[in-house]
Structures are given as structure tokens and as C-alpha cells.
């Protein structure tokens, strides 16, 4: 965070300052801001956020002992020897502080801000873009999937006077969430990847999801740039919102009309090769990140980077250095003997389909495809039919072993075994431990194994265990 006095911090968040020790209103703080006391070090600011299982106020003294310069609280913790700023709501205060800090940096620097949203691919695209931009200047981007009401402001608060690029990832817990988060910084460039069924249950359908994602365009600075998926009609329709705001549009996609597109895509076990055509000029691109679906994420990153003045050849060279999109996202584990692909951090109908297709594409004729599948979350009334579709797709792709884990995913198993013409095998296990016992005895040399589920299903840990067992 930039250097601010305690008075300036209190003013930015509308809080009441309670001083401790030798501190004065003019004491300067410039450390990291965090809601986890375990991450606090000397000079940092601790935000005592109440949670579902515990309360950050219980750890204010721990943060003080670790050297915190200040704590943002909803009530004074009298026993803690650290200056405290009392606010009605610490999450609101966190957003207010992020808004104030970014505005100050922007006012006297050349900070450029990119906002990214979409039903799938946000984190991968963010990582790709951050890798490209990091060689151009100091770049701040979210750790993991810091894209909610807490994670997004914490990322914003990492900017300082030397930051040239801020890449923000925006998730949506419901209508208005993206408008709120993006409104804190008003991005110069907004990137919308796709509108799919992820979280459709929470929004009330795919059209409501489209409206939520379009909030990012509406929150972008007038005269900025919208980077839009030309292949997704719901995203392409957001060009009219951009036009109303005097924004230019940069298109990415697989079709010939896109400003940045991919031709001759070839998927293999060591990544994906294609020709990236940027404004009519072809460039060879070899992505080491597994999965054809990541080509679209790379195109979005390329389109955005070129808006920011990065030469296409330089951007492509940096993309080719990435070997992993993110932990638990198409992460290769195991060995050449038994290859485990752990993609169980998140799952939606679209990402399930993409992962299964990748498994089929990268498996050779003398190898066996095995899909270990768990539930997809937040699908609401579409939950049953979407799980049915995944089971059917796995069969139609010729996946040779389907292992379904957890009661919430059982319909995948039932749909798979209902396909009488299929000559493979589907099995069901109520929990990951039983699935692990089965798989460690069932898997054999030449197997290519996809582990895929939503985060809540917890199969990412099963994937890790299998990766270690077969390493």
C-alpha cells in the first residue's frame, strides 16, 4: 500500500481513530493490508473481518504481536497494543480504502487498470496477462482467485507509486457485485470472456448471468476499451453498452472477424499449438498449458496486451513460458506412466465439457481415458439436467472409465450407465477415500486420468493424492 498517515486511513474509510503507544495521528503506515493475521508482519494493517467460523477481532492481539501498524475493527479490542480504526463494517471499509488508494496512485502516475470477468477462464486469463505485462512494468494481479468483495480490494491495495498495471479479476456472488467491485477502480480496459451456466442458480438463469457480467462494461471508464469474445453472442451483444460509453471494442475469438484469432489449433499432451493471427498478421503460438479451451484465454490476454502497447511477438513469447495456469487447474501430476490431470478447483458445465474434450484429445490410441468426476455447484434448478449432460458427454467422447464421486454428482453416473451402447465402465463412490482405494488398484500404465469437480466437492485433494501415488 502507498504511505498514508493513520488520520488519512481513518478519513478514507470513515472510521474513528483510537491510538495506542507512541502513535500519533500523523504516524505513517505503508505495509500490506490483510484479513489473515497469519500474513501480518511489521508495518502491516490488519482488517478484523468477522467470518462464518471465527472472528478477526479474536486475532487483533496476534496481529499486534506480529508488528501490525494498525487494525481496522468494528469494535475496539482493548487488550491489543495496536492503534485501531473503528468502522461500522470492515468489508465496506476495505473497499473504501482500496478506492482511495487506487485513486491517489492514478492521479499522479501512469497506472493502467484492466478488469476481467466471465463465467470461466478468469484466473487463467489473469495469469496470462500478468505474465505478459510483468516484463513491461510493475504489475499487480490477484493471488489465486482473489475476485470477491474481500479478495478484489486486497489486490487493489497492493498498488503503490511504482505500479504500472493493475489486473483485477471480478467474480459475482449476485447482481450488482461486479458493478460494486469494478466501480472501485473504473478500469481502463474491460475483458469479458464468456457467459455460461457457472453460478446460474444464484443469478436465476443465463440471461441474468449475462446482465451481471455486462456490469463490468458499464463500470469501465468512458472512452476506454472493451475486449470481447466475438464467438459468444451474449458477450458480443455488450458492444452496444461499450458504444454508449464511447468505448472502442477489441474482438478475440476463433472466427475470421476477430481482431485476434487462432487458426490451425492442434491439441497434444504437451500443450496446444496454433497460429495466432493478430490484426491480420500470423504468429506461431505453443501454449504449454493443457487444454484447447485455454486458447481463448490466451487470445483474450493477447488482445488486451496489444491494446496496452505490447508487441504481439513479445506477448506470445511470454505466454509460451507459462507451464501451469494455476494450482488445481489442468495441473499435470503423476508420471508418464500414469498421468493425472488435476482440474478440480472449479467446475461448470462449460469447463467440464472442455476438460473432458481435452482428456479425449491428448490420449493416444494405446492409452486409456479415465474421468474422475465430482459435483458442479451453484446450478440451482438446472443442477440435475446439467449433471446428466456431463455423464452423457463422457460416454459420447468414449471415455473408457468414469468414476463418479459424491452423492451430489450421482446423476452423472446414472446417465452414463443408462447408455446401453457404451462399452466402457462407470462406477460410483460416496466419498473420495473410497474412490482413492479403487483408483490406486485400478489405474495402470498408459492411463490418462482427469480429476474434475467444483471446489466444494474437494476432489482437488484426491487429485493430489493420486498424483503423489503415481509419481
Instruction: State the binding site for ATP.
Output: 118-124
Dihedral of the alpha carbons of 181, 182, 183, 184, in degrees to the nearest 10: 60
Q: In this structure, are residues 178 and 162 in contact, taking their beta carbons and an 8 Å threshold?
A: no
What is the phi-psi region of residue 452: left when phi exceeds 0, alpha when psi lies from -120 to 50, beta otherwise?
Answer: beta
Query: What CA–CA distance (Å, rounded) separates 387 from 177?
Result: 27
Query: What CA–CA distance (Å, rounded) separates 355 from 349?
Result: 10
Cell for 414? 446414472
The H or E element spanning position 373 is strand 368-373
Annotated binding residues, written as ranges, equal 118-124
Query: What CA–CA distance (Å, rounded) separates 87 from 71?
Result: 11
Cell for 391? 455423464
Query: What CA–CA distance (Å, rounded) separates 460 from 193?
Result: 24
Rg (alpha carbons) of the chain, rounded to whole number:
24
Q: Look-up: residue for cell 502497447?
A: 309
Residue 434's contacts (CB-CB under 8 Å, 6 or more residues apart) are none
Cell for 29? 503506515
191 phi and psi, to 5 degrees?
-120, 120
Nearest to 373 by CA among 438, 454, 465: 454
Intra-chain end-to-end CA distance of the chain, in Å = 41
Query: What CA–CA distance (Å, rounded) separates 191 from 115?
Result: 6
The DSSP output letter for 3 is -
Amino acid at each position: 500500500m502507498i504511505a498514508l498517515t493513520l488520520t488519512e486511513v481513518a478519513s478514507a474509510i470513515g472510521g474513528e481513530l483510537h491510538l495506542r503507544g507512541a502513535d500519533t495521528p500523523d504516524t505513517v503506515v505503508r505495509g500490506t493490508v490483510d484479513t489473515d493475521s497469519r500474513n501480518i508482519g511489521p508495518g502491516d494493517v490488519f482488517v478484523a473481518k468477522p467470518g462464518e467460523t471465527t472472528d478477526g477481532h479474536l486475532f487483533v492481539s496476534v496481529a499486534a504481536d506480529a508488528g501490525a501498524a494498525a487494525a481496522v475493527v468494528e469494535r475496539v479490542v482493548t487488550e491489543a497494543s495496536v492503534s485501531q480504526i473503528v468502522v461500522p463494517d470492515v468489508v465496506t471499509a476495505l473497499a473504501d480504502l482500496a478506492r482511495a488508494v487506487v485513486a491517489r496512485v492514478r492521479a499522479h502516475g501512469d497506472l493502467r487498470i484492466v478488469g476481467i470477468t466471465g463465467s470461466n477462464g478468469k484466473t487463467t486469463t489473469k495469469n496470462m496477462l500478468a505474465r505478459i505485462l510483468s516484463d513491461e512494468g510493475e504489475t499487480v494481479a490477484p493471488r489465486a482467485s482473489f475476485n470477491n468483495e474481500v479478495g478484489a480490494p486486497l489486490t487493489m491495495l497492493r498498488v503503490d507509486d511504482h505500479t504500472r498495471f493493475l489486473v483485477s479479476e471480478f467474480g459475482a456472488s449476485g447482481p450488482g457485485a461486479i458493478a460494486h467491485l469494478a466501480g472501485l477502480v473504473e478500469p481502463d480496459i474491460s475483458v469479458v470472456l464468456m457467459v455460461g451456466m457457472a453460478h446460474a442458480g444464484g443469478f436465476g438463469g443465463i440471461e441474468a448471468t449475462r446482465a451481471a457480467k455486462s456490469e463490468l462494461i458499464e463500470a469501465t471508464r468512458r472512452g476506454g476499451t472493451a475486449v470481447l469474445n466475438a464467438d459468444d453472442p451474449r458477450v458480443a451483444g455488450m458492444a452496444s453498452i461499450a458504444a454508449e460509453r464511447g468505448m472502442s471494442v477489441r474482438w478475440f475469438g476463433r472466427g475470421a472477424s476477430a481482431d485476434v484469432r487462432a487458426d490451425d489449433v492442434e491439441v497434444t499432451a504437451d500443450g496446444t499449438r496454433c497460429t495466432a493471427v493478430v490484426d491480420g498478421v500470423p504468429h506461431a503460438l505453443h501454449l504449454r498449458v493443457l487444454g484447447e479451451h485455454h486458447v481463448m484465454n490466451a487470445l483474450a490476454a493477447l488482445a488486451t496486451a496489444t491494446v496496452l502497447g505490447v508487441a504481439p511477438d513479445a506477448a506470445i513469447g511470454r505466454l509460451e513460458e507459462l507451464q501451469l495456469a494455476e494450482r488445481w487447474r489442468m495441473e499435470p501430476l503423476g508420471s508418464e506412466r500414469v498421468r493425472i490431470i488435476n482440474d478440480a478447483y472449479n467446475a461448470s458445465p462449460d469447463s467440464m465439457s472442455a476438460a473432458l474434450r481435452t482428456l479425449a484429445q491428448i490420449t493416444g490410441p494405446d492409452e486409456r481415458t479415465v474421468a474422475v468426476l465430482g459435483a458442479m455447484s451453484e446450478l440451482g434448478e438446472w443442477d440435475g439436467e446439467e449433471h446428466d449432460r456431463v455423464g452423457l458427454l463422457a460416454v459420447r467422447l468414449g471415455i473408457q472409465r468414469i468414476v463418479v464421486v459424491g452423492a451430489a454428482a450421482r446423476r452423472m453416473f446414472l446417465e452414463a450407465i443408462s447408455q446401453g451402447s457404451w462399452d466402457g465402465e462407470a462406477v460410483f463412490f460416496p466419498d473420495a477415500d473410497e474412490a482413492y482405494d479403487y483408483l490406486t488398484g485400478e489405474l495402470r500404465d498408459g492411463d490418462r486420468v482427469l480429476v474434475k469437480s467444483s471446489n466444494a466437492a474437494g476432489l482437488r485433494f484426491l487429485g493430489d493424492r493420486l498424483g503423489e501415488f503415481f509419481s
